[in-house]
């Protein structure tokens, strides 16, 4: 029953990785990455919109020395620099590839993504499945979700946009405007399937008592769960679990994310 755990322990033998901060040069800016732990399994973390690398600290602590853990901040966040221009999904994917080229050039990795980072993780997997051992998606956003939400309550979604834009600093507001323009495009509504990789999908189920955005309402949460079910529908090796938490599962239940990483790593080894 726990065969995948044994497999994970065996593959995480004594491979040593350098720890600490690493600079990843890009054109016009530098990304700040942090590498911790040691182990044959390399895990790369992609954070949610506006979040830096530190949000994964509790999950990384739970993994201990089992893995080589790489977390970083996207351009303009945390200690990462920026060229001042808003970044498209494709540009963020290129930055993610650059981090992997620098810190895990000859290794397949378990890619972990939360929220917008989950969207980036799924899009990276669709483009470069050969670079991955598997995916851990922590309450991920999906390419088609805005179309679904707009159909359900266009007025509320647009009001949420206005509220968020009024709260965000200028650089993040520019990123958000560009992101919603991409998610509102016809291309974003095109159904997409995941490649044949091990996948762990973690979905939050908590409906907020006082919803800040549409996703936190009962209607929004039902659609969110439906989007996740459709995302997982074609997965042949994986698990989909629901948690009675808010959107930040990795903060409320970091152990669940660590267990999902161990599952994907073990499954990728044939268990």
pLDDT in tens, 138-177: 999 999 999 999 999 999 999 999 999 999 999 999 999 9
Q: Cα separation of 69 and 144, whole Å?
A: 30
What band does 191 get if pLDDT is binned at 50, 70 and 90? confident
Above pLDDT 70, what percent of the chain?
Answer: 92
| Beta strands per DSSP E along 64-205 | 67-72, 109-114, 132-138, 199-204
Other Cβ atoms closer than 10 A to 33: 24
First to last CA, the chain: 10
Backbone phi and psi for residue 126, each to the nearest 5 degrees, phi listed first: -65, -35
Q: Cα separation of 90 and 127, whole Å?
A: 10
| Domains defined along the chain, listed by start | 3-268 (3.40.50.1820)
pLDDT in tens, 19-28: 589 999 999 9
Q: Cα separation of 192 and 143, whole Å?
A: 9
Other Cβ atoms closer than 10 A to 24: 18
Q: What is the CA radius of gyration of the chain?
A: 18
160-to-38, 86, 254 alpha-carbon distances in Å: 42, 20, 28
pLDDT in tens, 260-271: 999 999 987 754
Helix axis angle, 145-167 to 218-232, nearest 10° = 130
Asked if 229 and 223 count as a contact pair (C-beta separation under 8 A), the reply is no
User: What was the pLDDT predicted at 227?
Assistant: 97
User: What was the pLDDT predicted at 192?
Assistant: 85
Rounded mean pLDDT of the chain? Answer: 91
Q: Looking at the predicted structure, is the pLDDT value of residue 188 above 90?
A: yes
């Amino acid at each position: 029953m726990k065969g995948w755990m044994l497999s994970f322990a065996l593959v995480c033998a004594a491979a040593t990785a350098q720890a600490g901060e690493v600079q990843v040069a890009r054109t016009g800016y530098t990304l700040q990455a942090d590498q911790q732990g040691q182990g044959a399994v390399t895990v790369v973390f992609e954070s949610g919109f506006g979040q830096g690398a530190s949000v994964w600290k509790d999950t990384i602590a739970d993994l201990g020395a089992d893995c080589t853990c790489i977390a970083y901040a996207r351009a303009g966040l945390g200690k990462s620099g920026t060229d001042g221009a808003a970044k498209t999904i494709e540009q963020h994917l290129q930055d993610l590839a650059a981090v992997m080229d620098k810190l895990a050039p000859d290794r397949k990795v378990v890619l972990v993504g939360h929220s917008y980072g989950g969207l980036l993780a799924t899009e990276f997997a669709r483009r470069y499945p050969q670079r991955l051992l598997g995916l851990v998606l922590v309450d991920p956003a999906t390419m088609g979700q805005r179309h679904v939400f707009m159909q359900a309550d266009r007025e509320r979604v647009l009001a949420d946009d206005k509220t968020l834009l009024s709260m965000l600093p200028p650089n993040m507001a520019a990123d958000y405007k560009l992101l919603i323009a991409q998610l509102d495009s016809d291309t974003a509504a095109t159904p997409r399937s995941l490649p044949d990789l091990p996948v762990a999908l973690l979905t939050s189920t908590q409906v907020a008592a006082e919803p800040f955005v549409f996703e936190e309402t009962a209607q929004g949460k039902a659609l969110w769960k439906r989007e996740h079910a459709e995302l997982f529908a074609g997965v042949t090796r994986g698990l989909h679990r629901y948690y009675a938490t808010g959107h930040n599962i990795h903060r409320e239940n970091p152990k669940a994310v660590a267990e999902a990483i161990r599952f994907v790593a073990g499954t990728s080894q044939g268990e």
